[in-house]
Amino acid sequence: MKKGFITFILLGLLLILSVPVFAGSAHPEEKQPLVQHLTQAEFIEKVFDYKKDSSLKYLGDRPAIVDFYADWCVPCQRLSPILEDLAQEYEGQIVIYKINTDKERALAGDFGITALPTMLFIPMEGDPQIQKGSMPKNNLKKLIENILLK
């Protein structure tokens, strides 16, 4: 009797724990991450096709921040959760991209990235602006409001 009861409880727990897995698999389309990591090919497709057009015509439908970073860079590591917070706070208004300069050396070289982190602020109209170095969240919010959402 006792062994059957424990088996019943364990099966019940297994069923409860498996429900989210089965429920999640019913929806094959996944939500795009708020901060998107890009390769050079994706950058050319979504941000600037700088190989074909030297005018840097922005290809996106929302203002963007492109964060050039490296995993070993301590200021980059501190900036990353701030960018995640800002992506959530400004969801639907801006898009935030990240480029790993160790993996995308050619792209970083093409844009003259010599300091990390380096952020490229791309408004819908007007010229992109570069900001080198990490900064507090409130300063980034000011740049978003003044450059990207003006």
Residue type, 125: E
Residue 120 in domain? yes
Q: Which one of the listed residues 64, 76, 94, 122 is annotated catalytic?
A: 76
Quote the number of domains for the chain: 1
Q: What is the pLDDT of residue 17?
A: 44
Of the listed ranges 31-35, 46-50, 60-64, 83-87, the one predicted with least confidence: 31-35
Residue 8 in domain? no
Is the pLDDT at 87 greater than 50? The verdict is yes
- Is the pLDDT higher at 7 or at 138? 138
**Is 76 designated active site?**
yes
Range of the domain at 132: 35-148
Residue 17 in domain? no
Is the pLDDT at 99 greater than 50? The verdict is yes
Residue 88: CATH number of its domain? 3.40.30.10
Q: What is the pLDDT of residue 94?
A: 97
Residue 28 in domain? no
Residue 96 in domain? yes
Residue 51 in domain? yes
Residue 2 in domain? no
Q: Which one of the listed residues 64, 73, 94, 120 is annotated catalytic?
A: 73
Average pLDDT over every residue of 50-65 = 88
Residue 48 in domain? yes
